[in-house]
Amino acid sequence: MKLLTTNFIKCSVKACESSNKSFPLKYSNDCQLELNFEDDDEIVQSSYEFLIGILDKIEWEALLKVCQDLGNNDLPPNKPVLNEDVSNLNDNEKLILKQLFNLLVNTEIVEGSMSCDSCEHIYQIKNGIPNLLLPPHLS
């Protein structure tokens, strides 16, 4: 799963719905990460507008927490605010977008697990696909 996906999923257990501890899930530090493709500036450049669109959907606090779980503490504390007009990006903004691309789209969690802070159920990630199914006593 893309690192981006961690920003969309919460615990499946219905009782956890109202708990603010069920999002984001807690990622174990033995998660295996992989880069999707080699560093390719062309792909990054063609995705500027797209990334700004994605950034709009991100909950920054949750992203910070997941990155910490996975051992990355370098993110700025606040969501970067970017120029919507892609033709007018300055070098700094381009760098931010490239880093975001590498983090959100390019980084893949291949194997590992995640757990809910509220009910403590553990979900597995296998072959890059998170498994959010529940055993009968939780469903």
Interaction of residue 12 with other proteins, rule CB under 8 A: yes
Task: Show contacts with other proteins in window 100-139 (CB under 8 A).
Answer: 101, 105, 110, 122, 124, 126-137, 139
> What three-state secondary structure class fits 111?
strand
Please state whether beta strands 26-27 and 122-126 pair in parallel, antiparallel, or not at all (unpaired): unpaired
CA pair distance 22, 107, nearest whole angstrom? 23
CA pair distance 25, 11, nearest whole angstrom? 7
CB of 72 to other proteins, least distance (A): 19
List contacts with other proteins (CB under 8 A).
1-2, 4-5, 8-14, 17, 23, 36-37, 43, 47, 49-50, 53-54, 56-57, 59, 101, 105, 110, 122, 124, 126-137, 139
